[in-house]
A and B are shown apart, each in its own frame.
Chain A
């Protein structure tokens, strides 16, 4: 699976560069404030997109299926401040259970 290895190499090199940028290149200087406001919002925007596509996407269509039961269960687990691994297990279990019942 060479695609995986290319992704590993490029994402690895890119991430290491992004992390090192401030401490190595910029030293004490800082980015323009407006630019940091924009960059701060990248992570929430992309993570929300991943949630939506992973929960509803199927090839090139949107499908409502048992994954939403799992996502709702994950929401409840998060609200009860469950640790991340438990949240994931709860989501998978709820989806598996919904598939058994339906």
Chain B
């Protein structure tokens, strides 16, 4: 079940490598980032906030807020992790949205062998794909003429759609987008994205 996902993740990695290279990141930084962060949306958010003139602090904050979901995700699988702390620390790095989703057995149970196996496969695909994109060469033509500036919103839309599982998530996305658009003319680049995170407080509304 993980194989078709791994192919998609590798292709996604190639696009991360290419876009990071196009933003002037060189070849080593995108590969190291994929090997350590191993979370696509946060990595794309980092290059896009920096690329649109945002500050370093804004880029880092946006990326870490995007990855904040890994705290509850990690906690959901924690009861099924065994072994010493260092091994749980290493295995926890293989938890990504896809490996987590594949290994869910329902009723809050997780198959850890499936989680680690698929996570490892996706890790190799992600880092290998990034290396291919980053080392593959420069984009020679004008990025605007190729429509590459539309690649980012399309990518984030593709990442957003599977996150909208209920009305509450839909409301949070609409509110988040509205906050960001209202603040764009008045706040420094990157800040509107962080402020949009406040839309998650909708989670406190009584269900």
Q: Which residues of A does B touch, CB under 8 Å? A: 1, 3-8, 10-16, 18-24, 26-31, 34-57, 59-62, 66-67, 69-71, 73-75, 78, 83-85, 87-88, 90-99
**A34, B203: Cβ atoms closer than 8 Å:** yes
* 22 pairs of residues in contact across A and B, judged by CB atoms under 8 Å: A4-B20, A6-B60, A7-B60, A15-B70, A16-B37, A18-B67, A19-B67, A20-B92, A21-B71, A24-B85, A27-B78, A31-B72, A39-B69, A40-B72, A40-B169, A44-B164, A49-B180, A52-B153, A60-B185, A70-B151, A85-B11, A99-B144
Task: Decide: A45 and B67 in contact? CB cutoff 8 A.
Answer: no
B64 at the interface (CB under 8 A from A): yes
Query: Are B184's CB and A57's CB within 8 A?
Result: yes
**B41 & A42 in contact (Cβ 8 Å cutoff):** no
**A45 touching B154, Cβ below 8 Å:** no
Chain B interface, number of residues (Cβ within 8 angstroms): 104
Interface string of B73-101 (1 = CB under 8 A from A): 11111110100010011011101000000
Which residues of B from 135 to 168 have beta carbons under 8 Å from A?
Answer: 144-161, 163-164, 168
Which residue of A is nearest B199, CB measured?
Answer: A45
A6 to chain B, nearest CB (A): 6
**Complex contacts, A38 vs chain B, CB 8 Å:** 200-201, 203-204
CA gap between A50 and B129 in the complex, in Å = 23
A4 to B24: give the CA distance in the assembly, Å: 9
A53–B54 alpha-carbon span in the complex (Å): 12
Residue of B nearest to A38 (CB): B203
Chain A residues lying within 8 Å of B42, measured Cβ to Cβ, are 11, 15
Minimum CB–CB distance for B147 against chain A, Å: 3
Report yes or no: A42 in contact with B8, Cβ–Cβ below 8 A.
Answer: no
Is the Cβ of B69 less than 8 Å from the Cβ of A7? no
Contact of B153 among A1, A14, A15, A51 (CB under 8 A): A51
Minimal beta-carbon separation of A88 from chain B (angstroms):
5
Pair A49/B163 contact, Cβ less than 8 Å: no
Also in contact, A11 and B60, with CB within 8 A (given A48-B160, A71-B157, A92-B148): yes
Residues in A neighbouring B198, C-beta threshold 8 A = 45
Is B147 in contact with A93, judged by CB distance below 8 angstroms? Answer: yes
- Measured CA separation A60–B180 after assembly (Å): 12
Q: Which of A13, A45, A99 has the most CB of B within 10 A?
A: A45
B179-207, CB < 8 A from A? 179-181, 184-186, 189, 192-193, 196-204, 207
Q: Which residues of B contact A96 (CB under 8 A)?
A: 145-147
Q: A1-B25, A24-B88 are in contact. List 13 more A-B contacts (CB 8 A).
A: A7-B56, A10-B64, A37-B204, A38-B203, A39-B68, A41-B168, A47-B160, A48-B196, A51-B177, A61-B184, A71-B154, A92-B148, A92-B154
Candidates A7, A21, A39, A71; contact of B63 at CB < 8 Å: A7
Alpha-carbon separation in the docked complex, A7 to B50 (Å): 9
